[in-house]
Amino acid sequence: MSIPSATEFVEQLRPAGGRRSDKRDFIVNVFLRQEGHIGADALVDLVHRGDARISRATVYRTLQWMVDAGIARRVDFGEGRLRFEHAYRHPRHFHLVCKSCSQSFEFLSSDIEGLIEEVSAARRFTPRQSVIQIYGTCEACEAGQPASTPPTPTDAVFARDALRVAIATERSGLEFYTRAARLARDARGRKVFLQLAEEEKSHLGTLQARYEELIKADPALESQPTFLFFKGAANGLFAAGTTELKSGLDDRQALLIGIRCERGSHQFFKRYGERFEESEGKRIFLEFADEEREHRDLLIREYKALVARQRSRSREGRRRRTA
Ligand SMILES: [Zn+2]
Ligand SMILES: [Zn+2]
């Protein structure tokens, strides 16, 4: 399945029975071409550059229609007027807002979102939307430099960060399995861990190649500010598992830790991938979630086989003793 075009994106969100109109389509297209946060009046100006006959009221009505349809998001940076940003290939996010130059910078943090979910669940509250805006002074203003237009995270930055998160997870997975193989007592258990370490290594290679390809296509991408702050998620799961792998641990316990890590990783990437807007980054998350599920299933099969082996061994032992 390919990523939908802007037109397909709008079609998917168009309310059932919604009439099509050329004027509206024209306004929507102008809006989707804008990156960043645009005021209603600025959109009116842009629309008028293309077609001076479209009234201000029509642009305003269309903006409201786009908000209702989920094509546009309303943002309020406390400037006394609203701005709008489109949702096409643009994941939800939080904002850093500079009070000196009024520019805003986007980011997303899985730790903040996790906390919101935790608090909401504890208070039996159903969260629908969270708005986080951090006000302050941006790097350029702080340094007394002229403010440059901030690069709004594009699909490419999102993909870059999704790959970085996946690579970090793969790396800690590799560490986990390498260590588990070293500690395993059962020969077959060791083989499974080594096999998984090999798999993580080859996935890591694929992800790194994909990352390099992305950077080659746009070398400026490497230095763009981080958009996804998924540190805890990327390093936490397997890193915690690796510290649990002390010597003296048997294969069964090691497999259970591995299953828990892979399950957590699979659930994390799947949950995030499903919630993201259609984009390359979403694909990366969902593909990675599938790989983690395969690993989890392999470990579960191995765990069951190991338990069966141990059972038949102890049955045999009993039979020998009673014979
Ligand atoms: Zn600033
Ligand atoms: Zn934004």
pLDDT at residue 234 in the model: 58
CA atoms of 102 and 87, how far apart (whole Å): 21
* 94 Cα: distance to centroid of ligand 2 (angstroms): 7
Q: Would you give the distance in Å from CA 270 to the centre of its chain?
A: 9
pLDDT at residue 247 in the model: 66
Which residue ranges of the chain lie beneath pLDDT 70?
Answer: 1-3, 15-20, 147-153, 232-236, 247-248, 323
Q: Which helix (H) or strand (E) holds 105?
A: strand 104-109
Q: Which ligand is nearest to the CA of 76?
A: 2
pLDDT in tens, 73-103: 999 888 888 999 988 877 778 999 999 988 8
Residue carrying the six token digits 């643009």: 90
Paired tokens of 222: 């490497």
Read off the pTM: 0.80
Q: Per-residue DSSP letters for 123-169?
A: TT--------EEEE--HHHHTTPPPPPPPPP-HHHHHHHHHHHHHHH
Paired tokens of 124: 């039996």
* 106 Cα: distance to centroid of ligand 1 (angstroms): 14
pLDDT in tens, 35-63: 889 999 999 999 999 999 999 999 999 99
* 222 Cα: distance to centroid of ligand 1 (angstroms): 22
pLDDT at residue 56 in the model: 95
Q: Which ligand is nearest to the CA of 90?
A: 2
